Structure 1
Amino acid sequence: MARKPRVWFPSAVYHITKRGNRRSALFYDKQDRLTYLSMFEEARTFFPCILHSYCLMTNHIHLQLETIEHHPQHIMKMLNSRYAVYFNRRHSYEGHLFQGRYRAELILSTDYFLKVSKYIHLNPVEANIVKSPEIYDWSSYNAYISSQDNPHISTSRTLSYFPEPATEKYRAYVEGKNTLIH
C-alpha cells in the first residue's frame, strides 16, 4: 500500500519529529549535536526554510519548521541521510540510524503554532532530564528568553503573538505562569 502524500504548500509550517531506530540514540555528545545543526544549515542553503524552534533529545528530534518554496521532504532527506552517514562513520555503525519516515504535523492555527513551540521547549522537562527548560543546552528556548543568539532559528513570528515585553510573556506562557497572549 502506497504512503499517503503529505500536504504541502509554500509557507506551510510543520511540527517535524524523527526518532532513532528502535529508539536508540541519535546523539552521543556535543559534537554529534553540533554536526546535526551544521548539517541543518547546509540543507537550508539548498532548501531555504525558517526554523521557529527545535529540541535535540538523545533519541529523537523536534523541529518547528516553516517551508518557503520546497516541500519539507527535500530538507529532511538531505539532513537525515547526511547525518546518518556521519553518525555511522564516526561511531563505526552500520544500518539504519532513523526509525521509519519522519513525522510532520501541519500547523494551521496560531494556537497550535504556540502549543507546538511550548511542547518542543518543555520536552526535556517532561522527560525528566532537566527541571527547567533554560537549563537544556540543545533547544532553542534560551534564544526566546534571553539575549543569547541562536543563528539556527527565528523568534520573530512566535514572539509577535505576545504583548511587550514579549520575551517575558513567552517565558510565562511556556513555564505555565501566564497564558495571556495577544
Structure 2
Amino acid sequence: MVDSIILGGSTMGSMRRVWQPEIFYHVTVRGNNRQNIFLNEADFALFFQALHYTHQKHPFTVIAYCMMNNHYHLLIRSPKVPLYNVLTIINKRYSNYFKRKYHFFDQLYETHFFANMVSHPIGLLNVSSYIHQIPLRTTKAHTDRIELYPHSSYKYYIKQTKSQPSFINTQLLPSIIEQYPEIVAENYSTYCENYRMEEEKSLLTLT
C-alpha cells in the first residue's frame, strides 16, 4: 500500500484548531493495522452515499479523491463548518455501516488521520496528480491507465458528465493550467498523467 505524502500534517484532533475554510486539505484515512475498509463494490458505493449524505448537511468541495481497499484520499475544502466535523460524519456513517454488515466489533480506522493544507495552486495540481496516480503505485498496480480505475475522481476529468457528484468540482484544476503559462501541459489530464514521483519535492514548498 502506498502511503500519502505527509507534509507536516496535523492529526484530526488538532484539525479543530487549524481549519481554514478557504484552504484545501489532503486528507488520508487508513484502516486500522492497514486492514481493508472496502471489501467489495457495494462498500465503495456506500462510502459514496456517506459523502452525499454529509454534503447535504455541510456542503464541501472535493477536487480529487481515490479510494483503495485499505485507505482513501480526499483533496477537500469545507467552507462552512470545520473540516473535522465533516470527516467525523463521513467516517462514522461508513463505520456504522461496515460494522453492521460484517458484524465487525473492532476499530475500523487508524487512531490518527492526517490532513495536510494545500494552499498553493501548483500544490493542488501536484497533490491531485499524486492522488489520481495511486492505483498505479501499489506493489501490484490496480490498472495500467488511471482513467480506468473506477474509484477515483480522474474519470470525471476525462469525461465530463451530468451525473458527476454534486460535491465534485472539475473546473478548478484545469483553470490553474490556464493561469500559469510556464506550465508545460496542454490540459489537466496531460499534467496529471505526466506527473512523476520525483516531483513530490515541489509539494514541500508549494503547499
Q: Same fold (TM over 0.5)?
A: yes
Any conservation in 2 of the 1:11–1:69 contact (CA below 8 Å)? Answer: no
Q: How many angstroms apart in 1 are the aligned matches of 2:73 and 2:100?
A: 24
**Could you tell me which amino acid in structure 1 is paired with residue 170 of structure 2?**
T
Q: How many angstroms apart in 1 are the aligned matches of 2:118 and 2:61?
A: 14
Any conservation in 2 of the 1:16–1:63 contact (CA below 8 Å)? Answer: yes
In the alignment, which residue of structure 2 is the partner of 1:78?
89
In the alignment, which residue of structure 1 is the partner of 2:192?
174
Shift of 1:73: 0.5
Q: How many angstroms apart in 2 are the aligned matches of 1:86 and 1:56?
A: 17
RMSD: 2.1
In the alignment, which residue of structure 2 is the partner of 1:139?
152
Shift of 1:141: 0.2
Alignment of 1:19-98 (within 5 A): 19-98=30-109
Alignment of 1:9-20 (within 5 A): 9-20=20-31
Any conservation in 1 of the 2:34–2:70 contact (CA below 8 Å)? Answer: yes
Any conservation in 2 of the 1:145–1:170 contact (CA below 8 Å)? Answer: no
Q: Secondary structure at the match of 2:177?
A: coil
**Could you tell me which amino acid in structure 1 is paired with residue 171 of structure 2?**
S
Alignment of 1:104-143 (within 5 A): 104-127=115-138, 128-143=141-156
Instruction: Map Cα deviations across residues 118-159 of structure 1 (whole Å, 9 max, x no partner).
Output: 011000011111111011000000100123442141111111
Q: How many angstroms apart in 1 are the aligned matches of 2:164 and 2:32?
A: 29
**Could you tell me which amino acid in structure 2 is paired with residue 150 of structure 1?**
Q
- The TM-score with structure 2 as length reference comes to 0.79
Structure 2 unpaired stretches of 5+ = 1-11, 179-184, 200-207
Q: How many residues align?
A: 174
- The TM-score with structure 1 as length reference comes to 0.89
Instruction: Map Cα deviations across residues 87-111 of structure 1 (whole Å, 9 max, x no partner).
Output: 0111121111001132100011011
In the alignment, which residue of structure 2 is the partner of 1:5?
14
Q: How many angstroms apart in 2 are the aligned matches of 1:98 and 1:121?
A: 22
**Could you tell me which amino acid in structure 1 is paired with residue 150 of structure 2?**
D
Any conservation in 2 of the 1:145–1:168 contact (CA below 8 Å)? Answer: no
Shift of 1:52: 0.8
- Indicate which of 164, 170, 173 corresponds to 1:150: 164
Q: How many angstroms apart in 1 are the aligned matches of 2:176 and 2:74?
A: 19
**Could you tell me which amino acid in structure 1 is paired with residue 96 of structure 2?**
V
Any conservation in 2 of the 1:20–1:98 contact (CA below 8 Å)? Answer: yes
Structure 1 unpaired stretches of 5+ = none
